[in-house]
Structure 1
Amino acid sequence: MSSPASVITCKAAVAWGAGQPLVIEEVEVSPPQPQEIRIKVVATSLCGSDVAAWESQNIFPRVFGHEAAGIVESVGEGVTEFKEGDHVLTLFTGECKMCRHCTSNKSNICQVLGLERNGVMHSDRKTRFSIRGNPVYHYLGVSSFSEYTVVHWGCAAKVSPTAPLEKICILSCGAATGLGASWNVANVSKGSNVAIFGLGTVGLSVAQGAKLRGASRVIGVDINPEKGEKAKDFGVNVYLNPKDYDEPIHEYSGHQEDDRWGC
């Protein structure tokens, strides 16, 4: 039996107000409560959702971040799915695996661990972060811009210990969002044509999903030529730069001679 977990003092990037620069602060991270795990964050990436919330929301001070990979440092009471040392990805939309949505094949917006908007944990509506006894609020129940964080066990997924954590952190949101959009939402069919506007993480993942579903033509639209070139590796076989055309790109009829790489 391991000894009970204690408060950890570590560094975190804290947002003190909307649009204000993040400040590296020493924060206290409480032990995981029942049904929670505490994670040592190894790598985290930046999502547009973090930026949008940082610019506009009014819950501060706050630790943002939700795309992360790390190692379980300790587990709370009742947690059987994880143990200390497990490698995990964080999930900002958790799954309790028991509610009507989790057991349905129509939705994954868990009724228990759905999107958190109030800066507190799902279970007891309190925070696990503090600075000198004052609460620091969470973001989407993850808050990965910290060396350690606490999440509900349903907001994490176990991964192979051989997977490079510094690379797979992006799978927890951006890549999964794009792949799911292509595979589940659009339900791309074999032989179809797919147009993707924006070739960032999500867009490239949409391209991968479309390719896996058998799309015959995957058109990538972006004003950055470097992204257009990189997109070839993700399944895009036609690249269009809106700056190259006088007409709005969505009205462009598309001629074979203008295809950047053919079909």
Structure 2
Amino acid sequence: MSKTHSPQTITCKAAVAWGPGEPLSIEEVELAPPQPMEVRIKVISTSLCRSDITFWESRGHIPIFPRIFGHEATGIIESVGEGVTDLHEGDHILTVFTGECKKCRHCKSDKSNMCETLRMERKGLMQSDQKTRFSINGKPIYHFCAVSSFSEYTVLHSGCAIKLSPNVPLGKISVLGCGVAAGLGAAWKVADVGKGSTVVIFGLGTVGLAVAQGAKLRGASRIIGVDINPDKFEMGKVFGITEFINPNDYKQPTQEVIKDITAGGTDYSFECVGDVGVIRTALESCCDGWGMAVIIGVPSGQMELSAHYGPLLSGRTLKGTLLGGWKPKSELPMLIDMYMKKEIQIDEYVTHELPFSDINKAYQLMREGKCLRCVIHVGN
């Protein structure tokens, strides 16, 4: 790693994706200094999320390459841009893919976390000036989810950086920057799961298991997990899953199986797969009158949802959420405190830890369904 005096352009190593599905290549990249309201951080640890796979494969999404993926990370601020007052050089931070400006209509409302300034970045450019901070020989390297943490250093908006106390370990807590927070928030903030309720969760990856943990802590009496990978079932018990359904074991539609065993449907259902067909199944699996289906998964293929109006007319609700509805800078510190007090599980979602040089192995493990979250150690 070599760099000139901050806040000048520096050079560092990054895992660059040159095309859809192509192995990542460790390259030396140039990283511009932080612009107004931005920070440049030294990445310590980053974890691989299913979205990193989805957009890397580019199935159903516009391919944007060359690109640096990664958005769940911890790091140390190396330099700050003009106007940043709440963060300083040396601060430890957790990154998030959707920020909080605290000034727009959504940030001021208690009904939304969809910041108008820092919503999920989709074009591979910094939202402040529609340019990239990464380049190789003067050619732009595109960002991902406003973070791009598969790099020794990265630049992000200060509204996407959550300050951590120096005593918080900068390792496994990186998974709180997306997947775990999304699942807990879906159960607590979006659905507001009640004591004694019945819940069904489609997809037992990190997000689905975080929903299970959230439902368990809220006192749900039945938490049904649905997944075609039987290896997920034992892991599910750790987080509160009480019953399991493998759709491949039944001839009838999954929603009918669920209605049969719950006498009419569940109180809540959560779609954590990213499949429009499963979204419809989730909606049809909850009960009439008050049943709520919550969409959390990011689709990797077909984007258009088709559903019969009947379930909605009968009183069911279909809701979607990003980051579990949390306002990141205002509310995620609460989850960090709960983690430090051992009131919520986070470390248990990390099934593998690898050095930065083995990042392609992490991709392989997740694609094969052999890990929940793999933490990649980038810096010291």
Give the structure-1-normalised TM-score: 0.90
Alignment of 1:174 with 2:179, yes or no, is yes
Among candidates 225, 228, 232, match of residue 223 of structure 1: 228
- Alignment partners' CA distance in 2, 1:127 and 1:242: 44
Structure 1's 16 and 111: CA in aligned 2 closer, same or farther, altered over 3 A?
A: same
Unaligned runs of 5+ in 2: 263-380
User: Deviation string for 1:23-56 (max 9, x for gaps)?
Assistant: 1110011111111111111111112222222222
Among candidates 137, 147, 156, match of residue 132 of structure 1: 137
Alignment of 1:115 with 2:115, yes or no, is no
Name the aligned partner's letter for residue 173 of structure 1.
C
**CA shift at 1:4, angstroms?**
4.0
Among candidates 194, 198, 204, match of residue 199 of structure 1: 204
**CA shift at 1:250, angstroms?**
2.7
- Alignment partners' CA distance in 2, 1:195 and 1:163: 33
Q: Aligned to 1:144, what secondary structure does the other structure show?
A: coil
Q: Which residue of 2 aligns with 1:261?
A: none
Of 50-59 and 197-206, more deviation after overlay is shown by 50-59
Q: Which residue of 2 aligns with 1:254?
A: 261
Name the aligned partner's letter for residue 21 of structure 1.
P
List aligned pairs for 1:33-112, cutoff 5 A. 33-56=35-58, 57-112=62-117
**CA shift at 1:97, angstroms?**
0.7
Q: Aligned to 1:254, what secondary structure does the other structure show?
A: helix
Q: Which residue of 2 aligns with 1:188?
A: 193
- Alignment partners' CA distance in 1, 2:9 and 2:100: 27
Q: Which residue of 2 aligns with 1:260?
A: none
Q: What is the number of equivalent residue pairs in this alignment? A: 253
Q: Which residue of 1 aligns with 2:167?
A: 162
Alignment of 1:241 with 2:246, yes or no, is yes
- Alignment partners' CA distance in 2, 1:71 and 1:15: 24
- Alignment partners' CA distance in 2, 1:17 and 1:226: 31
**CA shift at 1:201, angstroms?**
0.2
Using the aligned pairs only, state the percent identity. 66
User: Deviation string for 1:188-211 (max 9, x for gaps)?
Assistant: 112110011111100010011111
